[in-house]
Structure 1
Amino acid sequence: MKTRVLVACASKYGSTQEVAESIAEKLSENGLAVDLEPMKKVKSLEEYSAVVLGSPLYLMHWHKDAHVFLSRHHEALTKLPVAVFALGPLSDEEEEWKEVRAQLDKELAKFPWLRPVDIEVFGGKFDPHNLHFTDNLLVKLPASPLHNVPASDVRDWKAIRAWASSLATQF
């Protein structure tokens, strides 16, 4: 019987979804049975032997679907190996990466029962031309951390696939 892994993600603009798809593909290439689902659609974890959770850190906050998922599946997640990834940094600046990791650790600390086998931060993608109305207004505020931030995509696909391969051996 193959190890069955759930890759569950929350994604506001699709970037985290694309990373989750890459991770699911790599896990599958490594011989695992993989399902990819949005976090909000997952009803049960009964059929899975491992879970990979992915969510963006948007304005230094984890996507609300990640909070809901962890709360809803609390009991099942204490019995499974869980890996967590987040997208956040929009540049290659080391300080931004440290800040994002610290914020992810702060978000995960809200769930002290969760003991991930691995946690990873990947660069994010930002396109100010594709923002929803309220986010577009926020970006225009001079006090916003995204004010005048140029479009960027610092996702490192090689690192993403390497991380997924390392998870396959752990699962």
Structure 2
Amino acid sequence: METRTLVAYASKYGSTKEVAESITKILQENGLTVDLEHAKKVHSLEEYSAVVLGAPIYVTHLHKDAAGFLSKHHEALKKLPVAIFVLGPLSNEEEEWKEARSNLDKDLGKFPWFRPVDTKIFGGKFDPKNLRFPDSLLARLPASPIHNMPASDIRDWIEIRDWAGQLATRLQPALT
């Protein structure tokens, strides 16, 4: 039986999907058979030997589709090696990274059974021109944390590639 890895992602504006696509490609380059799927569309984990879950930290919380994925598949995920990556900070300020870690830890704490083999936070991407309602409305409110926020993209593609390569090595023993 062929062993397969699932890269499941949640994404509101496409940035996390782009990272998931990159991670999928790197895992494949490292010899893994990998499927890429939106977390909400995954119905079963029966055919998988490992899972990588990606999501943004959005308004201080893990994207709802990623949380839903963890809830829906909790029995299967308890038996599989699972790695999780999130996109969060929109600047390189240390405090923002600490806050992203704290928010992620708090949200993952709601799933006490979840023991990922690795958890990684990457910088995120923000483009106010792409905002849809209600986010576009929120961006116009002076009290909003995204009011007048400039576009940014601090995703570190070298770091993403390195992490995925290391992850492939970590998942290989679990897949044989």
**SS state at 1:53 partner:** strand
**SS state at 1:55 partner:** strand
> Are residues 1:160 and 2:160 paired?
yes
Question: One-letter code of the match for 2:141?
Answer: L
**SS state at 1:103 partner:** helix
Structure 1 stretches of 5 or more lacking a match? none
Q: Deviations over 1:102-139 (max 9, x none)?
A: 10111100100000000000000000001002101011
Is the CA contact (8 Å cut-off) linking 1:9 and 1:39 kept in structure 2? yes
Give the equivalent residue in structure 2 for 1:56: 56
Give the equivalent residue in structure 2 for 1:137: 137
Q: Deviations over 1:82-110 (max 9, x none)?
A: 00000010011111011101101111001
Counterpart Cα distance in 2 of 1:117 and 1:58: 23
Q: Post-superposition shift, 1:141?
A: 1.2
Structure 2 stretches of 5 or more lacking a match? 172-176
> Are residues 1:15 and 2:25 paired?
no
Counterpart Cα distance in 2 of 1:3 and 1:155: 30
Q: Post-superposition shift, 1:142?
A: 1.4
Counterpart Cα distance in 1 of 2:3 and 2:160: 21
Question: One-letter code of the match for 1:42?
Answer: V
Give the equivalent residue in structure 1 for 2:118: 118
Q: Post-superposition shift, 1:2?
A: 4.9
Moved over 3 A (4+): none
**SS state at 2:90 partner:** coil
Give the equivalent residue in structure 1 for 2:174: none
Q: Post-superposition shift, 1:3?
A: 3.4
Give the equivalent residue in structure 2 for 1:80: 80
Matches within 5 A, 1:2-41: 2-41=2-41
Number of residue-to-residue matches in the alignment: 171
Give the equivalent residue in structure 1 for 2:147: 147
**SS state at 1:106 partner:** helix
